[in-house]
Amino acid sequence: MGIGPVEYMVVGFPGNKFNGEIAPELAKLIDSGIIRVLDLLFIGKNEDGEVLSFEFDQLDELEQFKDLEGEVGGILSEEDVAYAAAALEPGSSAALLVWEDRWAQPFVEAMRESGGVLLEGARIPYELVEAAMAAAGIEA
């Protein structure tokens, strides 16, 4: 069986206001087989603009992520950290997450088996979808 679509996300936490509430929800997605986490990294930018990166097992504040199932690590590079850090204000942090959409794996395999190739794909930001649905009179 091949790999399903892989996505990434950079979630910023202005002012380092990170409380870890995403860990249980991420665990539910993993435990249900919807996704497989391929990499998870946390970065921070101190007040002087210095960038630091951490695996979830390096800081006590990230303890709630230690029980996540998956093959976490090795996908994200220093270039990925630099890219995400460029968007951070000093005194802020971010989580970088790379995951496989396991729910879509059978569809993707069927597409490949039928000779199809993905020409383009993107995640549409919530704010754009919300505005388009409101303009079309569709309740979110």
Q: Sketch the domain layout of the chain as residue ranges.
A: 6-105
Q: What is the pLDDT of residue 60?
A: 61
Q: Which residue has the higher pLDDT, 22 or 2?
A: 22
The band of 81, judged by pLDDT with boundaries at 50, 70 and 90, is: very high
15 in the Ramachandran plot: left (φ > 0), alpha (ψ -120 to 50) or beta?
left
Question: Is residue 115 exposed (0-12), middle (13-18) or buried (19+ Cβ within 10 Å)?
Answer: exposed
Q: Which residue has the higher pLDDT, 84 or 64?
A: 84
Query: What CA–CA distances, in Å, run from 138 to 126, 132, 133?
Result: 14, 9, 5
pTM to 2 decimals?
0.80
Q: How do residues 12-65 score in pLDDT, each as one tens digit?
A: 888 877 777 888 888 889 889 999 888 888 898 999 989 988 876 666 666 666
